[in-house]
Amino acid sequence: MNPSLRVLLVAACAAALTACSNPAAPPAGTDAPRASDTPMSYPSSRTVEHTDTYHGEAVADPYRWLEDIDSADTLAWIEAQNQVTSAHLEAIAGRDRLNARLTALWNYERFGVPERRGERYFYTWNDGLANQPRLMVQDGLDGEPRVLLDPNALSEDGTVALSGAEVSRDGRYLAWGTSSGGSDWQEYRIRDIDSGEDLPDLVRWVKFSQPVWAADGSGFWYGRYDAPEGENALKAVNKFQKLYFHRLGTAQDEDVLVYERQDQPDWGFAPTRSDDGRFLVISVWRGTEERNLVLVKPLDRPDAPVVELVGEFEHAYDFVGNDGDTLFFRTDRDAARQRLVAVELARPQPEHWRELVAESDATLRAVSRVGDRFVAQYLRDAASEVRLFGLDGSAAGAVALPGLGSAGGFPRATEGSETFFAFTSFSQPGAIHRLDVATGEVTPFRAPELAFDPADYETRQEFFQSKDGTRVPMFVVSRRDLPAGPRPTFLYGYGGFNIPLTPAFTPYTLAWLEMGGVYVSVNLRGGGEYGRDWHEAGIKRNRQNVFDDMAAAAEHLIAEGVTAPEHLVIHGRSNGGLLAAAVAMQRPELFAASVPGVGVLDMLRFREFTIGWAWESDYGSVLDADEYRALRAYSPLHNLREGVDYPAFLITTGDHDDRVYPAHSFKFAAALQAVAPPRPALIRIDVRAGHGAGKPTDKQIAEWTDILAFAAHHTGLDLPAAPVPE
């Protein structure tokens, strides 16, 4: 499956940095608060008599009513919960100054990776505090950039985001998509790039798909679902995606159906056009599993049928490009860490494949063709390496990267030898570089001006043993002048869906480090750091390995004196929200606080909402008796106990999240409050917000002000007592 599509289904400085805490001060003491200063009084969450039966076991669901997110009762509950949460957060001393500091740290330029179409370059740009990045265009490398599209003008509150932008090969037209309030649903329009005017075309009900232009610019292919009927579009289960072709200047109801499978409700279709315009290569995905089919439609005549190239969901195949009738694929067939192969259409059987780039001891995460080179992106112990190969697979050298971090981009281009990539690390905001694949030369293209010195911060990679002896890596980040001793520590993880956690800069991480905290990112099983075997060691009935890895990470940090339980907060988002909740519940003695964001928290009903069914490839299904028992054993909603000193909880979600339906967080918050834990059990519900993509800058700053203030308060980290000098 296309990695960007997989991410869609599942679940990345104006002021000088001055330490917010005295570098000579002693480490936070062991008397940091482990309970709220005052007893909490929560809104009433009524219960209903509702029971479901799974494989002979009756399971109560007393908060089922909260699944109706638009009912008057639920809306009143949301308002009441937000009032309680706001009162707790607003009482934290220094929160206003933290907000000001975060605003200053967020105020730096951010650039997207450019793509070239004709003689024009297209990329996104945020000047610092704009709610949404603008799409820029410039003529030639040295041309003056101009704004092609400004999403900030689409809504007063910044909640309409640019969800996709694809330029036709000749650089004449832009297909641009928007999402509203954080929803995954997209609408696409067409802009004439020369005039800046939009055509009348409107394409709706697009989800988990990006447009793919025809070589002649006459239109584009895209995937869509039927419009939901009789149910909230944010809740309706998404089935039966269809692949269409939209011709410019026509109404959507005239779009040509290219492919569908009425017998396969779970199949989705991700098209890619070959650079020579001869083929449409269709990746058929089924949920988030790392296996796909490959279909090919010749484009030399309109009535050419779609033919099957790979017909079984056994392995992963990512189309890289072609040379005539030979197609190039990155695949994990016979290579758990991936390899690059050439497949002749006349002889597509695996015994006839030619191996171009063999599997290595690093994990091959992406390959793109640029001119007469393949650009191969690898991960070695969760950090980027980039290598070049000839079209025959011969080694052509490595790309020099600025340090230990993450490189991404390298858009394909069969003409010329130019491509671009972004590089970032925990202390280095994203900078854009130009790569000449013919010479290997890397030159700067765009980079933000820094008002701090990245050398003031250090990143070290450590390895620890999990419960079963597995060696697991983590990155530990701190100020270089940080005093020794247990420090308030922000522990972050994900551990799922073959998605790796790699070094990346964020303003909120820097704010935490400034104040004297330690930031830790853990590379758990279930992720994509070490290939297929590492991923499969953390899925379905192996899911407990992920939680054990995270608990072992906490134990390692405590044993090494980096932190102590009273100074440790655990955080994750989406699948990581499940992680933050489950580990804090299984091992409450290890943590002072837990912040599960937009989490999958009801493991028995996730398949009932939107695209949740697609996650069964990672989580398993309640329809299978053994997998049900594994899900039931760790589901956060179903494993709360009275009388347990749980960490302080700040649950975060968006009221328009149609990726992980917000009822997960609503029901878990109500159930957690019902067991009356001694420390706060709060939920922060963002309105006009979704899963996270496209969230306006001001909403991000507000959310992270609350998260960091809560984490600092409950781990003993001092917030700024006075304004930080700029």
- Annotated catalytic residues are 574, 691
Coil, strand or helix: which one is 522?
strand
Alpha-carbon span 323 to 329, nearest angstrom: 12
Query: Using an 8 Å Cβ cutoff, are 588 and 647 in contact?
Result: yes
Smallest Cα–Cα separation from 362: which of 511, 116, 529?
529
Alpha-carbon span 480 to 147, nearest angstrom: 40
Query: Using an 8 Å Cβ cutoff, are 621 and 559 in contact?
Result: no
Coil, strand or helix: which one is 221?
strand
The alpha carbons of the chain give a radius of gyration, in whole angstroms, of 25
Burial class (CB in 10 A: 0-12, 13-18, 19+), 53: exposed
3-class SS string, 42-60: CCCCCCCCCEEEECCEEEE
Smallest Cα–Cα separation from 410: which of 211, 126, 115?
115
For residue 460, what are its two tokens? 């070290």
Coil, strand or helix: which one is 571?
strand
Query: Using an 8 Å Cβ cutoff, are 6 and 498 in contact?
Result: yes
Query: Using an 8 Å Cβ cutoff, are 707 and 571 in contact?
Result: yes
Coil, strand or helix: which one is 596?
strand
Residue 119 neighbours by CB under 8 Å, 6+ apart: 139, 140, 171
